[in-house]
Every structure is written in C-alpha cells, then in structure tokens.
Structure 1
C-alpha cells in the first residue's frame, strides 16, 4: 500500500531565484525591484524555499502578481 505525502503546498516546478526573476522582468518594460517582489510574496502569502542562502519562489506566481500590479496601474 502506497502512502501519499501530505504537503501544505504542491511544490512548483518553476521555482526561481528572486534575482533571476528581477532580471527577467526588466525585459517586460515594467521592471520591479527585489523589494517589490518580496512585498508580493508577503502580501499574497506565496510559497518560498531557501537554498544555499537564496530565496526561490514560483515564477508563475510572480508573473501573476506582476500582471495584477501592471493592470492596477491602468
């Protein structure tokens, strides 16, 4: 009989370092700072992982937060 692991959040396959996310968002024409990304993580209670001193978050989650922030400016 197999046992299913219980996790509070399904681990995303697109976990990305915050600095890499910042650098990729520069190309969108709507760049953001690391502080802004961290604020989105906190405001939306996004799942993060720490590995070797760096914080990783789902790139898809950040793209949705970015989209909402840009749409809110209009």
Structure 2
C-alpha cells in the first residue's frame, strides 16, 4: 500500500538563496534588496534552511511577500 507523506516544508527545488531571489525579482519593475527579503522572513516567520553559509528560503513564500509589498506601494 502506497502512502503519501505530508511534508511541512517547501519542496527543495523551490528553495533559493536570497541573492538568487533578489535577481529573479529585479526585472519585475519592483526590485528588492536582500535586506527586504530578510525583513519579510522575520516578519512572516518564514522557514529558512542554512547550507554552506547560504540562507535558502521558499521562492513561493517570497513571491507572496513581494505581492504584498507591491500592493502596499500602490495604495
């Protein structure tokens, strides 16, 4: 019998470094700094993984925080 496991964290392929995320958001017209991303991680208590000196966070989680950032700027 096959059983699906429930993973409480993001899929590994969704995890990016802060610099990679910053570079991905640059062409959106609403670029951010790694400091902005770090602040969103703290404010929203996002899961991070540290590996070999780099901090990885879910790109999907940051996209949601980025959306809120844009909406706040437009209002």
Q: TM-score, normalising length from structure 1?
A: 0.86
Gaps of 5+ in 1: none
1:73 matched residue in structure 2:
73
2:63 matched residue in structure 1:
63
Could you say which structure has the higher helix fraction? 2
Task: Please give the root-mean-square deviation of Cα atoms over the aligned residues, in Å.
Answer: 1.6
CA drift of 1:39 comes to: 0.1
Distance in 2 separating the partners of 1:36 and 1:17: 13
Distance in 2 separating the partners of 1:67 and 1:45: 17
CA drift of 1:11 comes to: 2.0
DSSP 3-state at the match of 1:27: helix
1:10 matched residue in structure 2:
8
Gaps of 5+ in 2: none
The count of aligned residue pairs is: 68
2:40 matched residue in structure 1:
40
1:30 matched residue in structure 2:
30
